[in-house]
Amino acid sequence: MKFFRIAAAAALILTAGCSSNSNEEVDQKTHTSNQNTGIVAEKLDGRILLVESASRSDLLEGNTEKMLAENHSNAVWLQLPEEDYNVLHKGDLIEFSGTGVINYSSPAQAEASDVTLLTAANWTEEEIMQIEDESSFSKVVVKFSPLSDKALAAAPLDTHFRGGTGYTGMFTASGEQNAELTIFLKNVSSSEVYVQLRRKYIGLVPLAEDYLLKGKSGCSITITNEKGTPLTGEFKLYIYNKNGAKYDLYVGSDTLPG
């Protein structure tokens, strides 16, 4: 897989003289490094969305869809080490080395092995609070747990899926009524399958490593907000195998009232 590369990146330089103009376009700078560069447009679940250019107002107001549309193919979701994720802010210009991209996803996705802050966004204290509140709101925690036969018998497994292609399902948490979302899976087949969970947010964002579910076994997937606040969003479940075996699955979900 090839590296994502932005040939020309925009640095967000916010000085006292320009802070009054909320529509000012980010100053442009060209970088010739072999590294990948981009502006942090969004933060979510240990990942950042990098774009080539962004305006001050769009970053402050969280107009991510607009920035993504304007940058077209020059956008990538980047998985960061925790120590780097925690210190970066929207508007920061960074340079990174990556392990490649998932070419079929949109935006592209990559994992960073080394991150360098080139230009920090000079936000005011109030602006930082606004940005961090928006960025931390959607962070979720995902837990896979194996289930016993007794637990599976009591689980709300209301969908029976059989066939030769992988299973795809969408699950929604409404926020006001749901503190967490739990998805239940039962693999009736003797063949192992892999469970992939993604969140619908500016494309589909991976939330965890693909989970191996052995044949004739079951598991639950619990999704909660890190801060314990009501859960919102759409989550895509995809179950596949690597040997071409037929699928025989039961799937269901439940929500815990907030």
Instruction: Please give the model's pTM, rounded to 2 decimal places.
Output: 0.55
How far is residue 182's CA from residue 256's CA, in Å, rounded to a whole number? 8
Token representation of residue 184 = 């239940």
> φ and ψ at 221, to 5 degrees?
-125, 115
Q: What is the pLDDT of residue 216?
A: 97
Compute the mean pLDDT over every residue in the chain, rounded to the nearest whole number: 77
Helices of type H across the chain: 56-61, 64-71, 82-85, 125-137, 149-154
Q: What is residue 188's DSSP assignment? A: -
Coil, strand or helix at 133: helix
Condensed to tens digits (0 to 9), the pLDDT of residues 1-52 reads: 233 333 333 333 333 223 333 333 333 333 333 358 899 998 887 889 999 9
Q: Where are the domains of the chain?
A: 8-137, 140-257
Rounded Cα distance, 142 and 156, in Å: 19
Q: How confident is the model at residue 176 (pLDDT cuts 50, 70, 90)?
A: low
- Mean pLDDT in residue range 200-228: 83
Strands (E), 176-231: 178-187, 193-200, 204-206, 211-213, 217-225
What pLDDT is recorded for position 99? 64
Q: Is 83 helix (H, G, I), strand (E, B) or coil?
A: helix
Q: Amino acid identity of 15?
A: T
- Look up the CATH number of domain 140-257: 2.60.120.680
Residue 34 tokens read as 């072999």
Q: Is 185 or 204 the better-scoring residue by pLDDT?
A: 185
CA-based torsion, 62, 204, 138, 178: positive or negative: positive
Q: Are 158 and 51 in contact (CB under 8 A)?
A: no
Among 25-29, 85-89, 209-213, the minimum mean pLDDT is found in: 25-29
Query: What pLDDT, in 10s, does the model give residues 45-86?
Result: 788 999 999 998 899 888 888 898 898 778 888 888 888 887
Q: Is CATH 2.40.50.140 what the domain over 8-137 is classified as, yes or no?
A: yes
